[in-house]
């Protein structure tokens, strides 16, 4: 965990309450929190390692809760014991690890596809998915490396195939010549 | 007029300040506060908790200012898509420029004061505006 944050350092907490009905704002808030990769401490209490960005992100979600007729507050907190912070960090790392593993599985599945167009679409989707997971990854697990390697392998396989296919190379050469002409 | 915002300038606040200078108040003066309670009484607050010109209904502050001030220029709305995605990254818009601009702003905020960031980013946003103005006129990317 040397790359990640210090679990025993400061955390930013969002405590919030939203009316049960209507359910649309509840769902929207939940989706946003999920996207931010929060640790759920208890019902209506979530946490991120404190930083200007994480704090601001949680503050905006808090504002949204208030806009929707609920109550919300932002707190800066330090775990009273080291273990408490480490448990939160471990839960977050495990959640990210599961997401990275699903990227690995999807990359392997795409690599097995015989249609190059399918592979290109999958590569684009997986790269963007990976970027999203990294953004909410505060305590990078080893699975991050596996996911990056799997996606890179998918990209390299297609690059190698393109280089091997004469038609594609000729097309690329023609494009290059055309580009030089217009430059 | 005085305008107040949260200290620690990133994409949304920098873009809002540029928008305010170019379209609302050419003599705008900016105050940066750490806490909403420090907003001066005579200042208009933006992109800070509790302010009217701040995130609302899934919009970032830049979009809220455009709406509240009836700014319908399509070039500004194209920029709003970039600011929104750089700030919120919720895939509401397709704005491939967003991650790049976000890195530029976050990097600048590490090495310069808020005042300096506004000074340095004003010509950047002017350039981005001009790029998309021409792109929209030409119906394609300008050379």
The model's pLDDT over B75-102, given as tens digits with 9 standing for 90+, comes to 999 999 999 999 998 889 999 999 999 9
Interface pTM, i.e. ipTM: 0.86
pLDDT 10s digits, A133-174: 999 999 999 999 999 999 999 988 777 666 665 555 555 555
List, for residues A71-81, the tens digit of each pLDDT value: 999 999 999 99
User: Percentage of chain B surpassing pLDDT 70?
Assistant: 100
pLDDT of residue B90: 85
User: Residue A161's pLDDT is what?
Assistant: 65
B110 CB neighbour count, 10 Å cutoff:
6
- Residue A131 sits at the chain B interface (C-beta within 8 Å): yes
- Are B99 and A131 in contact (CB < 8 Å)? yes
Token readout for A94 is 């495990």
Q: Hey, are the CB atoms on A52 and B89 less than 8 Å from each other? A: no
Å between A72 CA and nearest CA of chain B = 12
| CB A110 within 8 Å of CB A154 | yes
User: Which of B69, B83, B67, B61 is CA-nearest to residue B129?
Assistant: B83
Closest-CA residue of chain A to B106: A53
Interface of A with B in 74-103 (CB under 8 A): none
Contact B54 A52 (CB under 8 A): no
| CB-based contact B88:B45 (threshold 8 Å) | no
pLDDT at residue B3 greater than cutoff 50: yes
The CA R_g of chain A, rounded to the nearest whole Å, is 22
A51 near B CB under 8 A: no
Asked whether the predicted pLDDT for residue B103 surpasses 90, the reply is: yes
Q: Which tens digits make up the pLDDT trace of A53-71? A: 899 999 999 999 999 999 9
Q: CA of B96: which chain A residue's CA is closest? A: A128
Across A41-58, average pLDDT: 94
Q: Which residues contact A126 (CB under 8 A, 6 or more apart)?
A: A103, A106, A107, A110, A151, A154
- Look at residues A56, A136, A36 and name the one whose alpha carbon lies nearest to residue A46: A36
How sure is the predictor about A97, in pLDDT bands with cuts at 50, 70 and 90? very high
Using a CB–CB cutoff of 8 Å, tell me whether B52 touches chain A: no
With contacts defined as CB-CB under 8 Å, which chain B residues touch A52? 8
Q: Is the pLDDT of residue A3 over 70?
A: no
CB contact A67 to B (< 8 Å): yes
**Residue B73: per-residue pLDDT:** 97
Tabulate helix, strand, coil % of chain B (nearest 5). Answer: 55, 10, 35
A73 touches chain B (CB under 8 A): no
Considering only CB atoms, B49 lies closest to which of A53, A63, A132, namely A63
Name the pLDDT band for A2 (thresholds 50, 70, 90). very low
Q: Which pair of structure tokens corresponds to residue A139? A: 């305590």
Under the banding of pLDDT at 50, 70 and 90, the label for residue B58 is confident
Segment B27-50 mean pLDDT: 95
Rounded to an integer, what distance in angstroms lies between the CA atom of residue A140 and that of residue A73? 28
- What is the rounded distance in angstroms from the CA atom of residue B123 to the CA atom of residue B141? 20
Using CA atoms, how far residue A107 sits from A121, A128, A156, in Å, is: 11, 13, 12
């Amino acid at each position: 965990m040397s790359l990640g944050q210090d679990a025993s350092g400061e955390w930013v907490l969002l405590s919030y309450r939203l009316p049960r009905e209507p359910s649309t704002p509840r769902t929207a808030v939940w989706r946003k929190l999920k996207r931010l990769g929060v640790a759920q401490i208890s019902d209506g209490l979530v946490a991120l390692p404190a930083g200007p960005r994480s704090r601001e992100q949680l503050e905006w979600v808090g504002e949204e809760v208030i806009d929707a007729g609920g109550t919300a507050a932002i707190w800066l907190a330090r775990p009273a014991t080291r273990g408490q912070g480490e448990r939160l960090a471990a839960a977050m790392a495990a959640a990210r690890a599961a997401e990275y593993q699903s990227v690995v599985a999807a990359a392997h599945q795409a690599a097995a596809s015989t249609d190059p167009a399918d592979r290109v679409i999958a590569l684009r989707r997986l790269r963007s998915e990976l970027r999203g997971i990294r953004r909410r990854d505060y305590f990078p697990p080893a699975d991050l490396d596996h996911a990056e390697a799997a996606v890179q392998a998918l990209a390299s396989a297609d690059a190698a195939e393109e280089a091997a296919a004469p038609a594609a190379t000729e097309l690329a050469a023609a494009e290059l010549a055309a580009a030089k002409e217009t430059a | 007029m005085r305008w107040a915002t949260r200290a620690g300038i990133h994409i949304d606040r920098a873009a809002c300040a540029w928008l305010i200078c170019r379209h609302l108040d050419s003599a705008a003066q900016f105050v940066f506060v750490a806490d909403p309670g420090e907003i001066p009484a005579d200042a208009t607050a933006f992109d800070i908790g509790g302010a009217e010109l701040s995130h609302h209904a899934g919009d970032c502050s830049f979009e809220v200012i455009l709406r509240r001030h009836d700014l319908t220029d399509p070039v500004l709305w194209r920029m709003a898509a970039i600011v929104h995605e750089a700030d919120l990254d919720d895939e509401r818009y397709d704005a491939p420029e967003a991650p790049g601009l976000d890195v530029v702003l976050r990097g600048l905020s590490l090495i310069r004061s808020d005042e300096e960031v506004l000074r340095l980013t004003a010509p950047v946003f002017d350039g981005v505006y001009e790029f998309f103005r021409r792109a929209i006129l030409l119906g394609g990317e300008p050379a």
